């Protein structure tokens, strides 16, 4: 009897317990979507627009007074240096046209599929109002707590066009500086191009690059300088120019055809040495130098931004320079 009673009471307790337990629904647990194998684009279209809007606002404020102070919020690297120099010249000469016009409306956006830093977003802007060629803006986020800043801009060179890249909603794969699968790794591209700039057609790498307007312009400018100095000072003046890739400032994205878009920073340094006589500068150079005459030496520092299109490995195509910028950011001399 007692066993039966115990069993009965146990059954009743069990039933009541079950009823109570079922009345209190189980706590939901977090079931996030699985982490994707390929990270999603770091920014969506709205966020890119917001970044560009922020950049435009900063530029607008800074442009109004030629004051570089606000620029740090949205500019860095070659872009910050270039803009700062432009403000200096613009203020000295009271000529706003010396500033590079930077539209912030986008034609093409390349977003990176990444979850690491630094991150770079590439924007091909609309054509500026002065009908120059569109700019290729590279916006970089250095670390999670930093905003995207305009690291550099470059002008699309004549007769070039951007390669097909993945839609910004899909995102493009960022490539490491030593990424394989290309005719040259991104790092090699910049180093060899610098060698080609320095040595011209004598460079062993000259055959890798198709002739481009930027290279021609560099050569032309240097030759003109040499010619002018020789005419004025004879052998008393020597001119040398070096091309140094900025270490680490290399942003690469795969394109749809398996190639890569490689954006690199480079510093060009032009050194004048005088053994006699003196050189007078005018206008923008004088503004940057802070004086008009040097008698012993002068050093010009240029911030360069280069955009290469690198074919995939096995391709017979040559590496092409799509866009470039070459802005004098500092001049020192005495």
Partner 1 sequence: MLKRFRPAAIVLLGLLVVGLGIASATLWMPLPTVRAVAIPADAGNVVVTAPGVLDLVSSEVTVRASAPGSRVVIVIGRDSDVAAWAAASPHVLVTGLSSWTHLATDSAAASVPQASASPSAGDTASPTASTDPTASTDPTPSAAADGGGASAAATAGSATTGGVAPDPSGSDMWLVQANGKDSATLTWASRPGRWSALAVSVGTSPTAPELELSWPHPVTTPWFAPAMAVGGALLLLGLGLLALMRAQTRSPELVEAWRGGVRVPAGIGAEQAGALASASAPAAGLTRREMRERERAREEAPAVASPGPFAQLRASVVTWALRFLPPAAERVAVPTATPATRTSRSMPVPMPTPMPMPMPTTPGPATAPTPGPAVPAGWSRVPPQTREPNPTGWSPTAPQVQQPASHAQQPAPQGQQSAPTSGRRAAQFGLHAAGRPAMPAPPPTAPRRGAPPPDSPAIPLPPVPVAPVPGAAAHDPPAAASTRADAWRRAWGFPGIADGTDNATEDVTDTEEGR
Using CB under 8 A as the binding rule, the residues of this chain from 269 to 328 that contact partner 1 are 269, 288-290, 299, 301, 303
Query: Contact between 43 and partner 1 (CB under 8 A)?
Result: yes
Q: Residues near 293 by Cβ (< 8 Å), separated by ≥ 6?
A: 278, 279, 280, 281
What does the alpha-carbon distance between residue 329 and residue 268 come to, in Å, rounded to a whole number?
10
Cis omega before residue 118 (within 30°)?
Answer: yes
CB of 147: closest distance to partner 1 in angstroms?
6
Q: Using CA of residue 29, residue 33, residue 34, residue 40, what is the dihedral sign?
A: negative
Nearer to partner 1, 158 or 248 (CB): 248
Query: Contact between 30 and partner 1 (CB under 8 A)?
Result: yes
CB of 254: closest distance to partner 1 in angstroms?
19
Query: Contact between 76 and partner 1 (CB under 8 A)?
Result: yes
Supply 4's token pair: 């039966």
Q: Is 227 helix (H, G, I), strand (E, B) or coil?
A: helix
CB of 312: closest distance to partner 1 in angstroms?
26
Supply 55's token pair: 């950049």
- Residues of this chain, 125-184, that bind partner 1 according to CB under 8 A: 140-149
Nearer to partner 1, 4 or 178 (CB): 4
Query: Contact between 115 and partner 1 (CB under 8 A)?
Result: yes
Which conformational region is residue 188 in: left (phi greater than 0), alpha (psi within -120 to 50 degrees), or beta?
alpha
Nearer to partner 1, 163 or 174 (CB): 174
| Residue 101 DSSP one-character state | P
CB of 286: closest distance to partner 1 in angstroms?
11
Query: Contact between 100 and partner 1 (CB under 8 A)?
Result: no
Maximum pairwise Cα distance, the chain: 126
Query: Contact between 68 and partner 1 (CB under 8 A)?
Result: yes
Among 80, 104, 136, 307, binds partner 1 (CB under 8 A): 80
Nearer to partner 1, 212 or 249 (CB): 249
Helices 186-199 and 213-233 cross at an angle (nearest 10°) of 30
Nearer to partner 1, 81 or 137 (CB): 81
Q: Using CA of residue 247, residue 118, residue 311, residue 306, what is the dihedral sign?
A: negative
**CA distance to 4, 46, 217, 279, per residue, from 138 (Å):** 82, 17, 23, 37
- Residues of this chain, 201-260, that bind partner 1 according to CB under 8 A: 246-249
Among 64, 72, 223, 224, binds partner 1 (CB under 8 A): 72
Stretch that binds partner 1, among 29-37, 94-102, 154-162, 256-264 (CB under 8 A): 29-37
Among 45, 57, 61, 73, binds partner 1 (CB under 8 A): 73
β-strand partners of 133: none
Is 260 within 8 Å of 318 (Cβ atoms)?
Answer: no
Stretch that binds partner 1, among 64-72, 130-138, 193-201, 254-262 (CB under 8 A): 64-72
For 24-83, the DSSP string reads: SPPPP---PPPPPSSPPBSS-HHHHHHHHHHHHHHHHHHHHHT--GGGGGTB-HHHHHHH
CB of 211: closest distance to partner 1 in angstroms?
28
Nearer to partner 1, 7 or 223 (CB): 7
Q: Residue count at the site for partner 1 (CB under 8 A)?
A: 75
Among 58, 59, 62, 85, binds partner 1 (CB under 8 A): 85
Query: Contact between 35 and partner 1 (CB under 8 A)?
Result: yes
């Amino acid at each position: 009897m007692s066993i039966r009673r115990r069993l009965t009471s146990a059954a009743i307790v069990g039933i009541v317990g079950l009823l109570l337990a079922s009345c209190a629904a189980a706590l939901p647990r977090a079931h996030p979507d699985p982490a994707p194998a390929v990270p999603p684009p770091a920014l969506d279209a709205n966020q890119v627009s917001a970044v560009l809007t922020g950049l435009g606002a900063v530029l607008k404020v800074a442009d109004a007074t030629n004051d570089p102070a606000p620029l740090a919020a949205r500019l860095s690297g070659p872009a910050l240096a270039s803009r700062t120099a432009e403000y200096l010249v613009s203020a000295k000469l009271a000529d706003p046209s010396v500033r590079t016009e930077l539209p912030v409306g986008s034609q093409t956006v390349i977003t990176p599929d990444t979850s690491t830093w630094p991150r770079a977003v590439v924007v091909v802007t609309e054509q500026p109002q002065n009908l120059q060629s569109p700019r290729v803006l590279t916006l970089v986020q250095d670390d999670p707590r930093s905003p995207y800043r305009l690291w550099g801009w470059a002008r699309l060179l004549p007769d070039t066009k951007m390669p097909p890249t993945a839609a910004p909603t899909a995102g493009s794969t960022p490539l490491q500086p030593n990424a394989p699968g290309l005719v040259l790794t991104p790092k090699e591209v910049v180093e060899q191009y610098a060698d080609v700039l320095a040595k011209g057609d004598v460079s062993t790498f000259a055959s890798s690059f198709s002739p481009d307007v930027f290279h021609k312009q560099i050569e032309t400018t240097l030759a003109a300088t040499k010619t002018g100095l020789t005419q004025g000072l004879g052998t008393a003046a020597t001119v040398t120019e070096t091309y140094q890739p900025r270490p680490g400032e290399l942003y690469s994205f795969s394109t749809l055809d398996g190639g890569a878009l490689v954006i690199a920073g480079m510093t060009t340094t032009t050194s004048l040495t005088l053994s006699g006589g003196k050189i007078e500068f005018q206008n923008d150079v004088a503004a940057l130098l802070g004086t008009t005459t040097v008698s012993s030496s002068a050093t010009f520092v240029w911030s360069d931004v280069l955009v290469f299109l690198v074919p995939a490995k096995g391709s017979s195509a040559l590496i092409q320079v799509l866009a470039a910028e070459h802005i004098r950011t500092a001049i020192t001399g005495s």
